[in-house]
Amino acid sequence: MKTDWKPGTMIYPLPAVMISCGSEPAEFNIITASWVGTLCTNPPMCYISIRPERYSYPVLMKNMEFVINLTTESLAFATDWCGVTSGKDHAKFEEMNLTPGKASVVKAPLIEESPLCIECRVREIMPLGSHSMFIADVVNIKADEKYLNETTGAFDLEKAGPLAYAHGKYYGLGKCIGKFGWSVKKNK
């Protein structure tokens, strides 16, 4: 039997990512977000949803660029800390011993410790209520070479130990149980 709950956002798990923003070191900041996702493959587009009262919001509005930095189990503490502290009061890169790296296309820094950094340029901002959705074009991706498959060149997400967020808690992802299309694959 199922019971009714009030409407809410119960689509879990989600990625727990660190969004880096700012165009110069004095305004560099990191905000943790889970309201992120893919919008389109061609052209590659994604979104982040941020509350207007967050310290990073005006930085995002001013620069219209950001980097989505995937997180790992080893980055879990920094991921949480960057989400519960404000850039108004803390120098997050410095205090979490994270390295601001140079992105290839955008001015926002990437986080060198992240296994995969997605450079984004804002196309549109949609105020939606508690959050505004920053719809963005993916303009470049930087992948840590140690997670690239030597044979195929594919990014090995499982090897990176990605972090997920579900209803107020962080989780490492478990073992792979199948790949896209495995349910209909014909045995030879």
pLDDT of 11: 84
- pLDDT > 70 fraction of the chain, expressed in percent and rounded: 99
- Residue among 134, 136, 115, 113 at smallest CA distance from 125: 134
pLDDT in tens, 14-48: 999 999 999 999 999 999 999 999 999 999 999 99
Q: Where are the beta strands (DSSP E) in 5-115?
A: 14-15, 17-21, 29-33, 36-40, 45-50, 65-70, 100-101, 110-111
pLDDT of 188: 65
pLDDT mean over 118-139: 98
pLDDT of 93: 97
Single-letter amino acid, residue 44? P
CA distance 73 to 95: 19
pLDDT in tens, 94-115: 999 999 999 999 999 999 999 9
* Separation in Å, CA 13 to CA 63, 70, 84, 136: 30, 14, 19, 22
- Residue among 32, 63, 83 at smallest CA distance from 125: 63
In degrees and rounded to multiples of 5, residue 142 shows phi and psi of -115, 120
Q: Which residue carries 């310290």 as its tokens?
A: 55
In degrees and rounded to multiples of 5, residue 35 shows phi and psi of -85, 75
pLDDT of 173: 85
pLDDT in tens, 67-97: 999 999 999 999 999 999 999 999 999 999 9
Torsion of CA 33, 39, 45, 49, to 10 degrees: -30
Mean per-residue pLDDT of the chain: 94
CATH fold of 14-172, please? Pnp Oxidase; Chain A (2.30.110)
Instruction: Say what the pTM is.
Output: 0.93
Cβ-based burial of 119 (10 A; exposed 0-12, middle 13-18, buried ≥19)? buried
